[in-house]
Chain A
């Protein structure tokens, strides 16, 4: 062929250009969950790429449980598939301690690490080292329908007790009109029903483990908790409550079918958003209910961005993580999506912003809830673990998943509360002994 030398030259030139381009840029692969704040981050990441033309971002967005399994497999086998991982307060200290994550160090001065809530920093740290920067954080609080309370002549205190919640629910429960007194998570899962059940147990004076790591499901505090939970939801909850998770309950509350709902502070932005809720102007906010104690009544969770030790793009990943959790990023969100969309629960400066406080009616209670949450002191009696709605030990996920199924079973009526607690006790004892916490 006549033009083969020209073709070869073109081919070589193209190859050189392509390889040159690939050498010049670093690809950062980010594993994250699909929720509003994370999707906004993905949408705004173009601004980061523009400012950092040498860094290319690739996104792997997965459902929370799938992502957790995917990231755990990758990090435990040193797979190196991800440069930035979205992990929670449960994983960060455990993985950090194992040396699977790079500690966060040498942040630029304008990052202002002190601006991040101390409880959040503590939750993402292990033995004094920070292993992730918080993207957004949450506690739990009480949502209630102000119109229904007003019509019934009821008044919600700043921090109600669970007994009061039950009395209010009783007064407002009108199933014939499609209105249910109390909505709580019932779906089995350590991050689903066990989040609310654990905080309820804290308020009732229970704890997951005593100082010797022995479970306490056979104690009266746990019995009171589960009996209350099952009784209140069966009497004043919506039908099929044992299969309702966060989203199902959000949908029920948003469509005006729940009088009271206790759940994540993140829901504040959903129930006041007209595209997701029909009750935007009829929602009141109170702290998560107490009972015999206020300790651990509201949970604490944070989604943080961490860099696995196996990442070969550590510097570029650090650059991105710093940007995505900075004040500058929050400002960008405010400009593009409105000030109420700023990532909540992580930075004190967000709550010092008068415009934000005015635009987000749930912000004041979120701040108060975050201030009260202390993962190191969440139970009435002393406990050996860190975490409010979880215990930050590797065995917890498996134990709480099984206990969650039993509690959900008791709620659905497939077993008694005593049977559920007795099985929970034996399962947890077996797992803890197997892990050699005690003999």
Chain B
């Protein structure tokens, strides 16, 4: 018979094991991708799959020789950060008005914004392509910044709105009594309080923009193509390509993975903001 203390210890061990199992399952594809990137093409296609093999850097050298990685990486950085910045500039005031000056249409407006995410992107490909063509935005970083901002804006507004809703209105009223303008309210009161939530919104937007592939493949050609286009260029209809594709995918994921790792504290804090009072 287990004592209460032993029972709790067992529960902790079991929960810990379960958490590790889930984490490892989620991480396994990334681990396998990194592993495959050091294999030869024959080893990468081997059945049964090989866990032990002689590692090689030939895939990375091939990518270095064939593609200008930094050109694509720089485009990814510019469009991800640019769209996140522009998105936040629009999302914060929008969420502010919806959270603190709610009207009877606020809820339906929020739902309508989110409903734009429900349409498959390919459904609007031709109209968006034509608009981009007419405005000279095809294969430009500014064009991608615009489209990424529009894609992520509903989620950003929703997230910021949720964080703002957690803040008591009395704090804003106190600021108003002290003579703060709307801008000062946002800048001096709201933003510092909801820093964690805003940081997680920024991170999520960055990750979504970094990984977006449909629009980046369809609206760019060479000069504005981000890392997703580089990854797509290593998939081959005729010939073995898994090892090279794994290597280029590892290179494409690395910056955002490192960035996410460094800022995980903010990310976790932001995601759990408001969950526990």
Interface residues of A (CB under 8 A from B): 29, 31, 33-36, 39, 42-43, 58-66, 69-70, 73-74, 76-82, 191, 246-248, 250-252, 254-255, 257, 264, 266-267, 270, 275-278
Contacts and interface: CB of A to CB of B under 8 A. Distances in A.
Contacts of B47: 251-252, 255, 257
B238 A247 contact: yes
**DSSP class of B's interface residues: helix, strand, loop or mixed?**
loop
Contacts of A191: 237
Interface centre among A61, A74, A270, A275 (most CB of B within 10 A): A61
Given A34-B233, A39-B66, A63-B232, A73 B238 contact: no
B218 A251 contact: no
Nearest to B46: A255
Nearest to A178: B47
Given A77-B126, A77-B129, A255-B47, A247 B239 contact: yes
B240 A251 contact: yes
B222 A270 contact: no
B138 interface: yes
Given A43-B66, A246-B238, A247-B236, A60 B42 contact: no
Interface in B130-173: 130, 133, 138-139
Given A58-B221, A64-B237, A66-B235, 11 more contacts: A31-B221, A36-B238, A59-B222, A62-B217, A73-B218, A77-B129, A80-B133, A82-B221, A255-B46, A270-B239, A278-B42
Interface centre among A66, A82, A277 (most CB of B within 10 A): A66
Contact of A247 (B130, B234, B241): B241
Given A73-B125, A81-B139, A254-B42, A60 B221 contact: yes
B40 interface: yes
A81 B138 contact: yes
A41 to B, nearest CB: 12
B146 to A, nearest CB: 17
Interface centre among B41, B45, B125, B130 (most CB of A within 10 A): B45
A250 to B, nearest CB: 7
Contacts of A61: 233
B46 A247 contact: no
A191 B238 CA distance: 11
B206 interface: no
B238 A266 contact: yes
B233 A255 contact: no
5 contacts: A69-B218, A77-B126, A77-B129, A247-B241, A254-B42
A74 B126 CA distance: 9
A318 to B, nearest CB: 19
A63 B238 contact: no
Contacts of B45: 248, 251, 254-255
Which 4 A-B pairs rank lowest in CB-CB distance, beginning with the nearest?
A251-B45, A63-B235, A61-B233, A64-B237
B236 A33 contact: yes
B221 A81 contact: yes
Contacts of A65: 237
A368 B40 CA distance: 34
Given A58-B222, A73-B126, A257-B47, A79 B138 contact: yes
A66 B232 contact: yes
B35 interface: no
B225 interface: yes
A73 B234 CA distance: 21
A81 B47 CA distance: 41
A98 to B, nearest CB: 16
A266 B239 CA distance: 9
B129 A60 contact: no
A247 B42 contact: no
A77 B41 CA distance: 39
B241 A34 contact: yes
Contact of A29 (B130, B222, B236, B238): B222
Nearest to B127: A77
A329 to B, nearest CB: 19
Nearest to A30: B222
Contacts of B42: 254-255, 275-278
Interface string B208-222: 000000000110011
